[in-house]
Amino acid sequence: MKNLQPIPSKSLKKATVISLEKGKIPPQAVELEEAVLGAMMIDKKGVDDVIDILHPEAFYKESHQFIYEAIYTLFQNSEPTDLLTVANQLRKTGHLELAGGDFYLVGLTQKVSSSAHIEFHARIILQKYIQRKLISISSEIIEESYDETVDVFDLLDSAETKLFEVTQGNLKKGSEDAQGLVNQAIKKIQEISNKQGMSGIATGFTRLDELTSGWQPSDLVILAARPGMGKTAFVMSMAKNMAIDFDEPVAIFSLEMSSVQLITRMISSETGISSGKLRKGNLEPHEWEQLNVKVKNLSKAPIFIDDTPSLSIFDLRAKARRLASQHGIKIIIIDYLQLMTAGSSQKGGGNREQEISTISRNLKALAKELSIPVIALSQLSRAVETRGGSKRPLLSDLRESGAIEQDADIVSFIYRPEYYGLTEWDDEERTPCEGQAEFIVAKHRNGGLDNIRLKFTGHLAQFSNLDEDYGNEFHSKMNSAISQSQIPSAEDAFGAPDNFDDNDVPF
What is the spatial distance between Cα 357 and Cα 373, in angstroms, rounded to a whole number? 19
For residues 280 and 264, is the Cβ–Cβ distance under 8 A? no
pLDDT of residue 31: 93
What is the spatial distance between Cα 134 and Cα 283, in angstroms, rounded to a whole number? 56
Q: Is 340 exposed, middle or buried (0-12, 13-18, 19+ CB in 10 A)?
A: buried
pLDDT of residue 271: 82
For residues 256 and 336, is the Cβ–Cβ distance under 8 A? yes
432-487 confidence digits (pLDDT tens): 888 888 899 988 988 888 888 998 888 888 888 887 544 444 445 445 544 444 44
Query: Which domains does the chain show, CATH number per domain?
Result: 30-169 (1.10.860.10), 198-344+352-465 (3.40.50.300)
For residues 272 and 459, is the Cβ–Cβ distance under 8 A? no
What is the spatial distance between Cα 50 and Cα 185, in angstroms, rounded to a whole number? 29
Cα 332-333-339 angle, rounded to 5 deg: 125
What is the spatial distance between Cα 266 and Cα 485, in angstroms, rounded to a whole number? 31
Phi then psi dihedrals of residue 466, to 5 deg? -65, -40
Say how far residue 267 (Cα) sits from the centre of its chain: 29
Residues written for the chain: 507
3-state secondary structure 423-443: CECCCCCCCECCCEEEEEEEE
* Residue 213 pLDDT exceeds 60: yes
105-151 confidence digits (pLDDT tens): 999 999 888 888 898 999 999 999 999 999 999 998 999 899 888 88
Q: How far is CA 73 from CA 68, 92, 466, in A?
A: 9, 12, 63
Say how far residue 105 (Cα) sits from the centre of its chain: 43
Q: Is the pTM of this model over 0.85?
A: no
Grade residue 171 by pLDDT with cuts at 50, 70 and 90. low
What is the spatial distance between Cα 36 and Cα 50, in angstroms, rounded to a whole number? 9
70-93 confidence digits (pLDDT tens): 999 998 888 888 999 999 999 999
* Residue 332 pLDDT exceeds 90: yes
Residues with a known catalytic role: 256
Residue with the larger pLDDT of the pair 57 and 291: 57
**H or E, element range at 93:** helix 83-93
Q: How far is CA 154 from CA 144, 159, 343, in A?
A: 10, 9, 10
Q: Percent of the chain, pLDDT > 90?
A: 21
What is the spatial distance between Cα 286 and Cα 435, in angstroms, rounded to a whole number? 26
Grade residue 29 by pLDDT with cuts at 50, 70 and 90. very high
With both helix axes pointing from N to C terminus, report the angle between 62-76 and 83-93 in degrees, rounded to the nearest 10: 100
What is the spatial distance between Cα 254 and Cα 306, in angstroms, rounded to a whole number? 6
Closest CA to 238 of 204, 287, 276: 204
For residues 438 and 412, is the Cβ–Cβ distance under 8 A? no
Q: How far is CA 290 from CA 239, 260, 271, 286, in A?
A: 21, 20, 7, 6
90-106 confidence digits (pLDDT tens): 999 999 999 999 999 99
For residues 465 and 457, is the Cβ–Cβ distance under 8 A? no
* Residue 55 pLDDT exceeds 70: yes
Q: Where does 272-415 show beta strands of DSSP type E?
A: 303-306, 331-335, 374-379, 410-415
